[in-house]
Amino acid sequence: MEVPRNSGTAERLYRSMYLIRRVEEEIIRLYPSDKIKSPVHLSIGQEAVSAAVCDHLERSDYVFGTYRGHALYLAKGGDLPRMMAELYGKAHGAARGKAGSMHLVDVDVGMMGTSAIVATGISNAVGAALALKMRRSTAIVVCFFGEGAVDEGSFHESINFASLKRLPIVFVCENNFYAIYSHVKDRLAGPGLVERARSYGVTAERIEDGDALACHAAVGSAIEAVRRGEGPRFLECMTYRWRDHVGPGEDRQYHYRPEAELDLKIRNDNLAALGRLLPSDLKQLIEAEEEARIAAAIDWAEKGEFPAASEIRNHVFAD
């Protein structure tokens, strides 16, 4: 990994990845207190993908994600205090305290929502891309999902339609190898994920893990192609989750993945590698600024009120 001549990219990526990492470490710290009233699916280890993709996006671009959505929400510029309040189930949370970690949303910055049902966000994202195209908007859509979603019918229907209509959408598949505790090689028939996307006439590429700046450059080319109107792209971004599928804990006790595999990924931490490229005073400044934001967000979440009982039926169904 080399520092680009414009080291602003490394700085922005480090700030975004550091924020995601530290917010999730705070979630781990707070979880035993039972103040967080929501299941959590952590992205520690996977920060580079959301940070790299969102660095190329405008506020007016849309993103759709999954229950593992903290990283995407934060990288797209979602409001941090409202995210923490949502995890606490508070009335001033991103979804008024009614949705929790798996349904983060901040439409003001184009974070259109996340879904707990595997692959369901993909068809929503394609619908949004169709709407943008019909309105002749210059904005694009990026849809995030895990490699498990590529086994679902919704993925195939959606990518076929997006290709047919040449919609302005990037499909970002975060391949962390495991769907819960099942390895991709035990689930995937055929040559691979990229080949599946290509079979629908979509330009597709695999981006290796381990170099946030290389990931940033590769996703940037794909996003620019979509912006030029060249139709959808599919990116298989290799990554790795360090923690359990769900919850704040480690999962070594389940023995579903080799410990050496996990240890190697932790040793080759993308965030630490990126941090080593920055001047130490700049790195410290970024960290101090983000720590202050995180502490303020937790404080705001803790002080807020729970929703009133009379709110229970509001904003659940459309009027």
Residues forming contacts to ligand TPP in the complex (CB under 6 A) are: 68, 116-118, 145-149, 176, 178-180, 245
Q: Specify the DSSP class assigned to residue 42.
A: -
Least separation in angstroms between CB 223 and ligand TPP = 21
**CB-wise, 112 or 118, nearer to ligand TPP?**
118
Q: Which is nearer to ligand TPP, 117 or 272 (CB)?
A: 117
Contact 122, 158 (CB under 8 A): yes
Please give the residue whose beta carbon sits closest to ligand TPP in the complex.
Answer: 146
The residue among 70 and 90 lying less far from ligand TPP, judged by its C-beta, is 70
Q: How far is the CB of 296 from ligand TPP (least distance, A)?
A: 29
3-class SS at 216? Answer: helix
CB of 12 or CB of 257, closer to ligand TPP: 257
Q: Among residues 57 and 184, whose Cβ is nearest to ligand TPP?
A: 184
Q: Which two tokens stand for residue 76?
A: 């797209």
Name residues whose C-beta falls within 8 Å of residue 48's C-beta, 6 or more positions apart in sequence: 13, 17, 209, 212, 215, 239, 270, 271
Q: C-beta of 75: minimal distance to ligand TPP in Å?
A: 15
Separation in Å, CA 192 to CA 87, 119, 189: 36, 18, 8
CB 245, min distance to ligand TPP, A: 6
Minimum gap (Å) between residue 50 Cβ and ligand TPP: 12
Contact 67, 116 (CB under 8 A): yes
Q: How far is CA 248 from CA 123, 150, 254, in A?
A: 29, 26, 15
Give 311-315's long-range contacts (Cβ < 8 A, gap of 24+): 311/91, 311/96, 311/98, 315/96, 315/98
Residue 117 to residues 128, 151, 180, 211, 245, Cα–Cα distance (Å): 18, 13, 13, 30, 14
If the CB atoms of residues 100 and 307 are measured against ligand TPP, the closer one turns out to be: 100
Q: Which two tokens stand for residue 256?
A: 């579903």
- How near is the Cβ of 125 to ligand TPP at its closest, in Å? 15
Contact 45, 72 (CB under 8 A): no
Cβ distance to ligand TPP smaller for residue 64 or 178:
178
CA distance linking residue 234 with residue 170, whole number of Å: 6
- Shortest Å distance, C-beta 132 to ligand TPP: 25
Question: Nearer Cβ to ligand TPP, position 37 or 245?
Answer: 245
Alpha-helix runs per DSSP H in 56-119: 70-75, 80-87
Residues, the chain: 319
Structure tokens of 207? Answer: 């981006």
The backbone torsions φ and ψ at residue 236, rounded to the nearest 5 degrees and listed phi first, read -95, 100
Written as one letter, the residue type at 113 is G
Closer residue to ligand TPP (CB): 16 or 154: 154
At closest approach, how far in Å is the CB of 293 from ligand TPP? 26
Q: How far is the CB of 120 from ligand TPP (least distance, A)?
A: 7
